[in-house]
Amino acid sequence: MVNLTKLAAPLDVGGVEIRNRVFLAPMSGITDEPFRRRAHAHGAGLVVSEMVASGELAKGRTGFDLRIRHSGLPVHMVQLAGREAAHMAEGARIAAGEGADIIDINMGCPAKKVTGGYAGSALMLDLDHALSLIEAVVGAVKVPVTVKMRLGWDEGALNAPILARRAEQAGVKMVTVHGRTRCQFYQGKADWRAIARVKDAVSIPVVANGDVCSPAGAAAILDQSGADAVMVGRAHYGAPWIAGGIAAAAGEMATNVPQNPTALADYIVAHYEDMLALYGVESGLRQARKHLGWYLDRHAVGVADDDRKAILTTFEPARVIALLRNVFSRDPQPLNLRSAA
């Protein structure tokens, strides 16, 4: 088994120093500014914006500026998605102009609404086109460019090593590989050993992604993939401290994790209020509900159905906050603050 001390070491990505090697994955509708700030505060080495549609960004669509806005963190990394080279290049220039230190290109999203537009992991069906996007972005900005991909479209086209090698030749400074094909979506177990073929194909850093939720999982994926770093995604639902806990390699708690029901209630309320401040009350209420649901699922499994429904449907922030504090003030409260899901 790999020694986890490797994860505590800094990593250079095209001249940008990352403080450790446990990253928060970009997740659409989840890794907004309030979530990224929390993950970073808990010790995640790198946090990435939610996926930003380059076409909408280039056209100036309202709201997309929030996704690329600099959050004041030491490294600002923006992920772009799209299929048009001109839009990808312009989106990269806009993001860099807003202070992005690293631009990531999404070639891994499996969602039908993304692949249906020939973006995300659909780009792995046409590597020549994928490379035209990479070249456009690399040529448009002076900051490092990275790529996130899957193993391939399906089991018959496991072309991640080829894409990674061509991306490196085009100037990409790091690649992240999710150990599933697009057709797997999130079914079954991620194939960590298959990521090793990408590591063998390139000399730039490779980040392994898929099913990591604990220090033991991080050690296993490093051992099987030979990767330089790990990226953690869905394990963060209701627990923004997971990457930090893995980076600390303590096996139990991450830095600054709320240690009791009252502290957890304060933490959740602060997250909720930050989202309302970012999006405005009307939009913020809707955006926050998934997070509140995950917090309840993870840390308050015994919450009454009526209370849960009220928290997730009420349009009055003050009532939501009062309900949250009431739920987490009850004793005993089955908190689940461990780093493992």
H or E, element range at 127 = helix 127-140
Whole-angstrom Cα Rg for the chain: 20
Phi/psi of residue 282, each to 5°? -60, -55
Q: How far is CA 207 from CA 75, 112, 186, 231, 262, in A?
A: 17, 24, 18, 6, 36
3-state SS of 201-252? HCCCCEEEECCCCCHHHHHHHHHHHCCCEEEECHHHCCCCCHHHHHHHCCCC
Contacting residues for 329 by C-beta, under 8 A, at least 6 apart = 261, 262, 265
Looking at residue 48, the DSSP 8-state letter turns out to be B
* CA–CA dist 36, 158 (Å, integer): 31
Catalytic residue, candidates 109, 204, 246, 288: 109
- Token pair listed for 48: 């990435």
Q: Where are the alpha helices (DSSP H) in 255-332?
A: 261-279, 281-299, 305-313, 317-329
109 catalytic residue (yes or no): yes
d(CA 135, CA 14): 16
The residues carrying an active-site annotation are 109
